[in-house]
A and B are shown apart, each in its own frame.
Chain A
């Protein structure tokens, strides 16, 4: 059972590598942020899978924290950065 968990975690990591391309290239700041948010969610899923594959229950707490703090990052972006005239190339 834990083999499937590990394989799926690896598959999600490949997804992350593809999304990294969007973070590096994304035309507008919002695209970069959305890719970073996807990183957060997929990171939560990978942590959960690893927690059940390795039997480390404490990793679920780390996933919980990650899900919580993605909100703070996104809110800081929407309320602090993007209200200014910032074209993404400055």
Chain B
């Protein structure tokens, strides 16, 4: 008989893994740098966020939980900064954002 905390933790961990899978598929399938950046941000923020939330329910104490949240906040800050840097640099180098067929018309 699993407690409700364990079920919730497992559910959150699985949601996080699904977001990581989506990020990986996006990185493999999307057409250009900007869209891949978008996929990477999903994996960074939501995937890691749900994983941290799921593990938070298993954490033994307050200090361990605080450290987990710190990991997530650091990853958030790094992801936001890097997305900005890379997107600005790509635009400055003259890489055209990808357009769909409908946008062309």
Q: Give A residues with C-beta under 8 Å from B.
A: 1, 4-5, 8, 11-12, 15, 18-19, 21-22, 28, 30-31, 33-35, 37-38, 41-42, 44-45, 48-49, 52, 57, 60-61, 63-64, 67-68, 70-71, 74-75, 77-79, 82-83
B47 touches A37 (CB 8 A): no
Point out the residue from A41, A63, A74 that lies within 8 Å of B86, measured CB to CB: A74
- Name the residue on B nearest A78 (C-beta): B85
Give Cα A63 to B82, complex, Å.
18
Decide yes or no: A4 and B13 within 8 Å by CB, A60-B71, A68-B78 being known contacts: yes
Residues of B within 8 A of A (CB): 6, 9-10, 13-14, 16-17, 20-21, 23-24, 27-28, 33, 36-37, 40, 43-44, 47-48, 51-52, 55, 58-59, 64, 67-68, 70-71, 74-75, 77-79, 81-82, 85-86, 89-90, 93, 95
Tell me, rounded to whole Å, the shortest Cβ–Cβ distance linking A87 to chain B.
10
**Contacts A/B (CB < 8 Å), 29 sampled:** A1-B6, A1-B58, A11-B17, A15-B24, A19-B27, A19-B28, A31-B33, A34-B36, A34-B86, A37-B44, A37-B82, A38-B27, A38-B44, A41-B40, A41-B48, A42-B43, A45-B20, A45-B48, A45-B51, A49-B13, A60-B67, A63-B71, A64-B67, A64-B70, A71-B77, A71-B81, A78-B85, A82-B86, A82-B93
Q: Contact at B90–A35, with CB atoms within 8 Å?
A: no
Supposing A38-B23, A38-B24, A75-B85 touch, asked if A64 and B74 sit within 8 A by C-beta, the answer is: yes
Bound complex: CA of A49 vs CA of B9, how far in Å?
12
A45-B16 in contact given A34-B27, A38-B24 (Cβ < 8 Å)? yes
Q: Give min CB distance, B54 to chain A, whole Å.
A: 9
